[in-house]
Structure 1
């Protein structure tokens, strides 16, 4: 489930949204209000239940051969065992939008944003089986007891990487939740 050329998508567990209003995200580090979406390259980052903590790593042109070998695949996503049932059962929907009102956001263009309200041209599409979606895309999905070892390893490597909703991950080994 990726946007077609000239499109961006917004993934949601709510199939009833008819108009997306710009808002300041709860985790935002900027004061501007946006409608958020992703392009085809970043769509797989959102093939998860919304609140699911996940870490992702992928090969980029600057990736060393050692890091490529240690990753073992061109792209790897990781979640914790506690989220596997939700991955299997969540009903996720994709809202498609024309890409023209959206612009890249962030130094690494990890999202697309619009500053005006956006209404999808049609109803959202059910995304379907998230595990199968990963498999069909050739993305290795790892299920770990704790994400932090993976996060630390990929953030110190020459791989591209991202973490989403990491505040929902289990604490680092030896740390307690506040």
Structure 2
């Protein structure tokens, strides 16, 4: 589920949105009201229930061979997503919808942070919400490795200390960090 030419997407569990109005997201560090969307490359970041914590990593030209093999794995594609076991039933049961929005009113949040597209004016979807379908199958079709872990934090700590590109969403909803044995 990706946008076509001239489109961006917004993913939601609510299939009844008729108009997106700029607002300050409760979880955002941004203080300006925006309508949020994603481009083709960042759609997979949102193939999850909204509140599901996830760590995502992908290879970029500056990723070392060692980091690619250690974080992503040999011969396993260029991208990995990780969730916790406790979220697997929600991923299998959620009814997620995609809204196709016109790309014209949107711009990247900043020239260096290209994780999201934002608009400062209300935006009407190009059509009704489309069911996204089986999220596990969507990952498989896109060649994205999906790891199910007991706890996200050991994986996340390895990711952010490496040369892969990464994004973490709703990490505050992850299980607590495992206690480290004292020396």
TM-score for the superposition, normalised by structure 2: 0.94
Counterpart in the other structure of 2:139: 134
Counterpart in the other structure of 2:9: 9
Counting only pairs closer than 5 Å after superposition, residues 102-121 of structure 1 correspond to structure 2 as: 102-106=106-110, 107-121=112-126
CA displacement 1:51-72 (0-9 Å, x = unmatched): 0000000000100010111121
Counting only pairs closer than 5 Å after superposition, residues 59-78 of structure 1 correspond to structure 2 as: 59-70=59-70, 71-72=72-73, 73=76, 74-78=78-82
Residue 87 (1) aligns with residue 57 (2): no
**Mapped partners of 2:31, 2:147: distance in 1:** 35
**Structure 2 gap ranges (5+):** none
Q: CA deviation at 1:27?
A: 1.2
TM-score for the superposition, normalised by structure 1: 0.96
Q: CA deviation at 1:108?
A: 2.3
C-alpha RMSD over aligned residues: 1.0
4+ long deviations beyond 3 Å? none
**Mapped partners of 1:50, 1:157: distance in 2:** 27
Number of residues paired by the alignment? 175
**Mapped partners of 1:36, 1:23: distance in 2:** 9
